[in-house]
Amino acid sequence: MSIQVVDRNNPLPRYVQAMLIIQQRIRSGKYRPGERIPGERDLAVELRVSQMTMNRALMELAKEGWIRREHGKGTFVPENFCPPPPEVLQIGVVAHIPAEHALEDFYLGSLFRGMQRAIVNTSVSLSILEVPADEIEKIGEALLDGLLVLDMLEQNVEKVNQLYRAGLKMVVLGASWEGLEVPFVDSDNVAGTRAALEHLISLGHRRIGGVFALPRTCNTQDRLRTFQQTLQERGTPPDDTFVLMEEEATSISQPGREKIRQILRSSARPTAFFCGGYYLALEVMRIAREEGLDIPEDLSVVGFDDPVSAALLSPPLTTVRQPLDEMGRVATEMLLEWLKNTAPPRHGVVLPAQLMVRQSTTSPGGNT
């Protein structure tokens, strides 16, 4: 994302464009109350206008109370200044994949539907910003009123914290990393995973395999850690040879498929699999059938996430339902309230996940 500049082809007068850019920087927190902003000459160079044009823009902003100019000291945003809301609030949704793929993805698409529910009958515009995970600091250049940051990685916690301390208004969605200072909304991956494992153990399963994906995400790390801890606590220590970690959440790689086949062919194979994603569960079920195993008689399978199709499978899938629509709605409403009232929202909200018990799980058969 490039820094916004005055557009010479825009019919709007250049000094007005410059005013709007500075107003947006104040609204977004880039220029904070009480702070000195760049000088007239520096702003003219940055926004690519003449110094005379920038002088007029600053004079108009001073008349309207957006800035205070002190001779010999500089230009400041007034202390305790609360900018009037724009006619339309501009909110960016930060994702690591292209917009068209984000909307097609069940997880991200469900979050986005929740966001849209929150802005019905409001003057809010949502736009998806594709920002690579290793360039997260670029969200500070967006010049939007607020941001919803999806699936932030642990490597970016301090970078995002710094942007938050600098005044950027944002809510993290789908991650609750330790040390994160930014308000967040997440689902309870720990309780959801524990419920799934307790369900399998209560059915009599003692050899339980696990398939996970996206190892750098908060959700996956929570699920994997809880998978290991729960089995350890219940006296059935996890067998690392039964655990698979994939890089993609929508499919299992060819080496991964071969490993699952080898696991299922072993004499002391698992009687159940916990899959940390919906598509991972579909893959495990398909491979199991190709190996001549019936579900759930020979192998119980639990997934994570609950699209409509999960209940229509044969057999219907036992899975952990995340409140994805609700997560998107709550995060958006938190951000909107922050933009209206200037005070940041409560630090974090974790919404409960629900185990949906269906016919893909049962007590282990003869292979115990």
Rounded Cα distance between 223 and 269, Å, is 22
CATH number of the domain to which 36 belongs: 1.10.10.10
Full strand arrangement of the beta sheet holding 354-356: 243-246, 208-213, 272-275, 300-304, 318-321, 354-356
Asked whether residue 71 is assigned to any structural domain, the reply reads yes
Q: Quick one: 252 and 265 in the same domain?
A: yes
Phi, psi (degrees; rounded to nearest 5) at 95: -130, 160
Give the pLDDT of residue 305.
Answer: 97
Shared domain for 224 and 182, answered yes or no, is no
Contacts of 63 (CB under 8 A, 6+ apart): none
Sheet holding 124-130, edge to edge: 124-130, 89-95, 146-150, 170-173, 184-187, 348-351
pLDDT at 84: 81
What is the Cα–Cα distance from 316 to 76, expressed in whole angstroms? 62
Mean pLDDT for the chain? 92
Q: Do 222 and 170 reside in the same domain of the chain? A: no
Question: Is residue 312 situated within a structural domain?
Answer: yes
pLDDT tens-digit map of 248-278: 998 999 999 999 999 999 999 999 999 999 9
The whole-number pLDDT of residue 143 equals: 72
Q: Are 23 and 66 in contact (CB under 8 A)?
A: yes
In this structure, the answer to whether residues 230 and 257 fall within a common structural domain is: yes
Q: CB–CB of 148/335 below 8 Å?
A: yes
Same domain as 316, residue 193: yes
The answer to whether position 233 is within a domain reads yes
Same domain, 63 and 101: no
Residue 234: band (very low, low, confident or very high) from pLDDT cuts 50, 70, 90? very high
For 33, the domain range is: 14-76
Tell me which residue has tokens 């409560």.
346
Last residue of a domain, one of 282, 307, 322: 322
Cβ neighbours for 209, distance < 8 A, ≥ 6 positions apart: 239, 242, 243, 244, 263, 270, 272, 273, 274
pLDDT tens figures, 14-39? 998 899 899 988 887 889 899 999 99
9 occurs within a structural domain: no
Are residue 101 and residue 182 in the same domain, yes or no? Answer: yes
Instruction: Give residue 209's pLDDT.
Output: 97
Q: What is the mean pLDDT of residues 294-298?
A: 97
Instruction: Please indicate, yes or no, if residue 119 is contained in any of the structural domains.
Output: yes
Same domain? For 165 and 114 the reply is yes
Give the C-alpha distances (Å, rounded to integers) separating 121 from 125, 145, 363: 11, 18, 50
Q: Give, rounded to a whole angstrom, the gap between the first and last alpha carbons of the chain.
A: 57
pLDDT of residue 82: 85
Query: Pick from 35, 53, 76: which residue ends a domain?
Result: 76
| CATH number, position 251 | 3.40.50.2300
- Residues 6 or more apart whose CB falls under 8 angstroms from that of 212 comprise 220, 223, 224, 227, 243, 244, 245, 246, 275, 276, 277, 280
Neighbours of 256 (CB within 10 A): 20
Residue 359 maps to a domain: no
Whether residue 41 has pLDDT greater than 50: yes
| Residue 102 pLDDT > 80 | no
CA 94 to CA 137: how far, in whole Å?
11
Asked whether the beta carbons of 167 and 132 are under 8 A apart, the reply is no
Judging by beta carbons within 10 Å of its beta carbon (0-12, 13-18, 19+), is residue 360 exposed, middle or buried?
Answer: buried
pLDDT tier, 367 (very low <50, low <70, confident <90, very high otherwise): very low
Residues 196 and 315 in one domain: yes
| 7 in any annotated domain | no
Same domain, 107 and 182: yes
Give yes or no for residue 118 having a pLDDT over 90: yes
Shared-domain flag, residues 283 and 195 = yes
Strands (E), 270-366: 272-275, 300-304, 318-321, 348-351, 354-356
Q: Which two tokens stand for residue 76?
A: 């400041």
The long-range contacts involving 12-21, CB below 8 angstroms and separated by at least 24 positions, are 14/49, 14/53, 15/49, 15/53, 15/54, 15/56, 15/57, 15/60, 16/57, 18/43, 18/47, 18/49, 18/53, 18/54, 18/57, 19/57, 19/60, 19/61, 21/47, 21/143
Residue 83, pLDDT score: 84
Whether residue 106 contacts residue 305, with contact meaning beta carbons closer than 8 Å, is answered with: yes
**H or E, element range at 146:** strand 146-150
* Count: domains in the chain: 3
Q: Which of 83-97, 108-122, 219-233, 338-352 has the highest mean pLDDT?
A: 219-233
Answer yes or no: do 300 and 282 share one domain: yes
245 contact partners, CB below 8 Å, separation of at least 6: 212, 213, 215, 224
Is the pLDDT at 141 greater than 80, yes or no? no
pLDDT higher than 80, residue 334: yes
Q: How many Å separate Cα 309 from the centre of its chain?
A: 23
Asked if residue 8 belongs to a domain, the reply is no
What's the average model confidence in pLDDT over 89-96? 90
pLDDT digits (tens, 9 = 90+) for 142-192: 778 899 999 899 999 999 999 999 888 999 999 999 999 999 999 999 999
